[in-house]
Structure 1
Amino acid sequence: MSGPADRAWTWREAGPDDYAEQARLFNTCFGKQKSVDTFRWKYAQNPHGPALSRVACDAGGHVVGGYSYVPRRFLRDGEAILLYQASDAMVDPSARRQRIFTGLDDIACEAAGEQGADWAYAYSGRLSFNGFLRNGWSCIGYAQVLRYRFRSRRGLARCGRLAPLAQQLAPLLDASYRLRDRRLAAHGAAAAALTPVQRFDASFDELFQASAPRTGLVGVRDHAWLNWRYIDTPSRRQQCWALREPGGVGLRGWLVTECVDGNAYLVDHLARDEDARATLMAAFTSLAHAHGLHEATAMLCSHHPATPRLLELGWRAPRGRRPFRDVFPWIVRACRGAAPSADLSMERWHLADGDRDAEHMSA
């Protein structure tokens, strides 16, 4: 263990024996029911490398805080680099106001810099956002939540005190949605062109190499990472699809979805060209409609090439910019002095919902 003598807590590197305590902390802090399997999967089984995982301990040696940086290979202007995603900042309620969160963040950031990483990054949550900003992080932009509603009641329930009155409009709105959605029948062929992916293989590596943006920063989507991120998760909530050339030979693109509790999430996708992207977006919308869901959502930056494709299909951008509902902040922290300032432009980051620190998109 190490830490200054005037600090009420010490820290050490976390290992497999700490998964149970990390799960306890996570469930306490976030009101979830995660098991040790989640932390073994996230911290030890990532094909891009093991997490820089740290725990804080009180004077009796009990774990009272946890924090990790999870590695991710990126391409920056086509060149391979390593970055780290901030993950699972947790402090036991009995040990708060001791600067454990900021202290562990500093420790993990320094370790990431020693590994050669320029940046740590995250889609920040509501509870930790201000703490991040006070500790050297910068919010460089936002991703917006696009929505396509098939039924109105869930959306009307978000109207706050006006919700009971607004719910009376549901039958009229649903009738208008049914008229609008008649055109989705034309996209049935796009959905039928998708085939389920049981495991990603090397052909998906070729697609990434051919289709990844040549400028800016994009997380590497090789088949090992795709299997780990979307197929081998403990919860197994995502569905993976391939779009192939006629005859089923060449790979035109892939799509990851999550359909839970009446909502369809566009988790991730990759397209060989814009025609393939348009087909994938139409197929996703048609799939969500065919499943009888309430709505479909996609968290994307305005400069993402899928955004105009979805808007053309009748999706709606948020009317407001309410943080953590309409838009979600993307934050970065320099891990070493050589971090290039050009990366502080949000337009250089190519992101999907699957790039956030969440095993699954639904609650």
Structure 2
Amino acid sequence: MASTDKELDRRLTEEDLPKPPPGLRFELWYQDRAAAINDFVNQVFETERSVEGAIWKYFQVHPEASVGVAIQEEDNTLVGAHPNIIRRLWLDGRELPIFHIADVAISPHYRRGIALYRSFIRHVQVQGVLQGVLFGYGGRITEENRKIGKRLVGYEDLMQLETLERRLSLRMAVSKRVGHALGEAAGAVGSAFYKARYRGSHGSWTVEEAEKVGFGPEYDRLWESLRERHRICLVRDAAVLNWRYSENPASGFHLFEAKNQSGDLSGFLVMRVYSEGDAKLALVLDLQDQGEAAMAQALLEGATAAAVHQGCDFLRFAPCPGSSAAQAVAAAGGFREAPVPRDNVIFKSLAPSAAAYGEQAAAELLAGGGHWYYTQGDSDFLE
């Protein structure tokens, strides 16, 4: 029988893997089961992710360690699925692996089974520790799931992001008042105003949209500079950025690069254009500015100008609290709170005792939240 957390002031072994309730079993799953797992996840969450999208998200981020845990009935019917998505984290001058907690799917038929939920999540966490992963994080957590996770499995609040938006068109506002046809006409007329207002003034940096979303060796050099400015953030070298954006089967990504007077890459912004209901939106997924609010503002102005030309109704951005990007938004003006829920970001120590692995100081630093640099692209968005 698996030990309780209070008994574990030591390293975990396979004997600590919790057992499932009677009639069910836990199994590891690999890429050869991606289609079946993806169908199950889509059914639970009422999503339409493609198999290619599932393989990209679950298996291509860390191919040598990609695995998931499934719950199955005796007849092999899936009851639950949890991908073990491993990301690379930068923490005080070193790298370590971290779980990206996402897509925890349990069949609605079993959703009220608290014992099942606890044993499943605990099994996944112990499995992660056995893989050498001691910590986990997750973003875009709904308020309901946040409360359930805190109560049942000990999720800790890391931060809460407020999504802000900048209006780029009159189309939506006029359509709500006088109808779609006049709204489209007003949008066309107002477009000239917004194009003039957001013309992309970039100060000391040259900000340009890249012809294609791709990240070469210059991004490895930029990462070496960026990482010294962050105590905690997910790794953003060329390999990670290419996986996250250029190899992503989803569409609509735009890359903006800030270069100094010598033409060297100094920072970047990734934006995604997508539709939500009747609105066409541009969302800032990542912004790296080397701690300079002026560079962040230049990148935001460049992205805003491009979003206007794309015909977007709003530009949205949820800056990390206390960051130079947050300062840039406050100084830029024109942003207001978007009518969407706050973005809850959570943290979890997977091992009952981080001290048993010599990582107690890391656990305390990570749990605080105040030292993180986090962007919404660090979690999934429509993917």
TM-score (normalised: structure 1): 0.83
Q: Identify if the C-alpha distance between structure 1 residues 193 and 240 changes in structure 2 by more than 3 Å, giving closer, same or farther.
A: closer
Provide, for residues 224-274 of structure 1, a one-character-per-residue CA deviation record: whole Å limited to 9, x for no partner. Answer: 111111011122331223333457x42122221111121011111223462
Equivalent in 136, 146, 151 of residue 164 of structure 2: 146
Structure 1 residues not aligned, in runs of 5+: 158-162
Provide, for residues 175-233 of structure 1, a one-character-per-residue CA deviation record: whole Å limited to 9, x for no partner. Answer: 99976774323628978633334421121011011122545310000111111110111
Equivalent in 230, 234, 237 of residue 222 of structure 1: 237
Equivalent in 333, 346, 351 of residue 369 of structure 2: 346
Q: Identify if the C-alpha distance between structure 1 residues 50 and 23 changes in structure 2 by more than 3 Å, giving closer, same or farther.
A: same
Letter in 2 for 1:318: E
Partner of 1:270: 288
In the TM superposition, 1:32-71 aligns within 5 A as 32-47=47-62, 49-71=64-86
1:56 deviation in Å?
Answer: 0.5
* 2:276 pairs with 1:253: no
Q: Identify if the C-alpha distance between structure 1 residues 102 and 37 changes in structure 2 by more than 3 Å, giving closer, same or farther.
A: farther
Letter in 2 for 1:150: L
In the TM superposition, 1:209-358 aligns within 5 A as 209-246=224-261, 249-261=263-275, 262-272=280-290, 274=292, 275-318=294-337, 325-336=340-351, 337-338=353-354, 339=360, 340-358=363-381
Match of 1:123, SS state, is strand
CA contact (8 A) 2:200 2:304 kept: no
The separation in 1 between residues aligned to 2:77 and 2:122, in whole angstroms, is 21
The separation in 2 between residues aligned to 1:5 and 1:81, in whole angstroms, is 30
1:57 deviation in Å?
Answer: 0.1
* 2:148 pairs with 1:131: yes
1:25 deviation in Å?
Answer: 1.5
Partner of 1:27: 42
- Could you tell me the percent identity over the aligned residues? 18
1:54 deviation in Å?
Answer: 0.6
Match of 2:65, SS state, is coil
Equivalent in 146, 161, 184 of residue 198 of structure 2: 184
Match of 2:250, SS state, is coil
Match of 1:46, SS state, is coil
Partner of 2:92: 77
Deviates more, 1:198-207 or 1:39-48: 39-48
Match of 2:128, SS state, is helix
Match of 1:300, SS state, is coil
Partner of 1:160: none
CA contact (8 A) 2:25 2:71 kept: yes
Letter in 1 for 2:43: T
Letter in 2 for 1:331: I
CA contact (8 A) 1:318 1:326 kept: no
Equivalent in 119, 140, 155 of residue 103 of structure 1: 119
The separation in 2 between residues aligned to 1:11 and 1:156, in whole angstroms, is 54
1:11 deviation in Å?
Answer: 0.8
* 2:137 pairs with 1:114: no
TM-score (normalised: structure 2): 0.79
CA RMSD between the two structures: 3.2
The separation in 2 between residues aligned to 1:141 and 1:117, in whole angstroms, is 21
The separation in 2 between residues aligned to 1:122 and 1:246, in whole angstroms, is 38
Count of residue pairs brought into register by the alignment: 347
Equivalent in 166, 189, 201 of residue 216 of structure 2: 201
* 2:101 pairs with 1:86: yes
Match of 1:347, SS state, is coil
Q: Identify if the C-alpha distance between structure 1 residues 213 and 104 changes in structure 2 by more than 3 Å, giving closer, same or farther.
A: farther
Structure 2 residues not aligned, in runs of 5+: 1-16, 355-359
Letter in 1 for 2:295: A
Letter in 1 for 2:158: I
1:314 deviation in Å?
Answer: 1.7
The separation in 2 between residues aligned to 1:33 and 1:115, in whole angstroms, is 30
Q: Identify if the C-alpha distance between structure 1 residues 182 and 313 changes in structure 2 by more than 3 Å, giving closer, same or farther.
A: farther
CA contact (8 A) 1:49 1:71 kept: no
The separation in 1 between residues aligned to 2:19 and 2:194, in whole angstroms, is 64
CA contact (8 A) 1:191 1:287 kept: no
Deviates more, 1:183-192 or 1:29-38: 183-192
1:331 deviation in Å?
Answer: 0.7
Provide, for residues 72-102 of structure 1, a one-character-per-residue CA deviation record: whole Å limited to 9, x for no partner. Answer: 1111122212111112111223333234443
Provide, for residues 107-145 of structure 1, a one-character-per-residue CA deviation record: whole Å limited to 9, x for no partner. Answer: 121122233333211014325323211211112320110
